[in-house]
A and B are shown apart, each in its own frame.
Chain A
Amino acid sequence: MRGEIARLRVKTWLCLPLVMASHVAGNFCMKRGMPSELAFPLDYITALFRPWLGVGVLLLIAWMLLRMALLSWADLSYVLPVTAVEYALVALAGRQYLHETITTRRWAGIALIVAGAALVSAATAPQTYRKAEAGR
C-alpha cells in the first residue's frame, strides 16, 4: 500500500509541473490577446482567430488533457490545492514579464498558497476513494 502511494505521488509530481505550466501560459496568452470589448456573441468566436488567443486555446486544451490524466489517478480534493501554486506562478510571471510590483501582502499570499499546496501534497495520499466505487 505504501509503495502504491509512493508510485502515485511520483507520477503526480511528474505531471503537476506540466499541468501548471500549460495553464499559466494559456491564461497569460489569453489576457495578452483579449480585445478590450466583446459586444456580440460572434465576437467571442472571431477573437479565437487572433494569434495570442489561438496559442492560448491550444495551451488550455493541453492543460485540460493533462489534468484529465492527472484526475485518472489522483483525488480532485488533492489536485485542487496542489495546483493552486499556479496563482503564485501568475504573480511571479507578472513581475518578470509585465514588470508588476509584488507587495508584501502579495508575497504573504504566495507563501500561504505554497504552504497549503505543500501541506496537501506532502502529508496526504493522492488517492483516497475506494477503487470498487470507481467501477460503479
Chain B
Amino acid sequence: MKWIAIAIVVSATAAADVLQAIGMRRQGEIRDFRPGALGRVLAALARNRFVIGAVACMAVSFFAFMGLLSVSELSFAVPATAITYVLETALSRYVLKERVNWLRWAGASLVICGVALISL
C-alpha cells in the first residue's frame, strides 16, 4: 500500500509540474501583482487546458499523499517522494527543452543525496 501510494504520488506530481510549467509559459510572465490583474490571470488560467490537467494531476497526487500520510510518518513520506527530482529534471531537459547544464544536475544530485541522508 505504502509503495503504491509513493508511485502514484511521484508520477502524478511529475505530470502536474510539467503541465503546470507548460501552461504558465503559455500564460507568460506575471508582472502585475495588483488584485485586478491577478484576477484576470486566474480567469485566463482557469481556461488553460495545461493548467486544468496539472490541477487534476495535483488532486490525484494530493489524495495519494493523504493516503500515504495515514500509513507512514511525514519524515518518511516527504523524503521518499523526492525521487521526483530525478524524473522532473530529466523531463525539464527533454520535454520542456530547458538548458539543464552540469551545475543544475550537480545541484539536483546534491539535493537527492541530502534527502536520502535525512530519510535514513
Contacts and interface: CB of A to CB of B under 8 A. Distances in A.
Contacts, number: 162
Q: What is the size category of the interface that chain B forms with chain A? A: 35 or more
A72 B29 contact: yes
Q: Which of A60, A90, A112 has the most CB of B within 10 A?
A: A112
A36 B70 contact: yes
Interface residues of A, number: 52
Interface in A50-73: 60, 64, 67-69, 71-73
A44 B118 contact: no
Contact of B118 (A31, A75, A81, A110): A110
A136 to B, nearest CB: 8
A133 B96 CA distance: 9
Given A37-B70, A77-B96, A84-B82, 19 more contacts: A31-B69, A35-B70, A44-B63, A72-B30, A73-B30, A76-B17, A76-B98, A87-B78, A90-B74, A90-B78, A94-B75, A105-B117, A109-B113, A112-B111, A115-B110, A120-B107, A129-B96, A133-B25, A134-B25
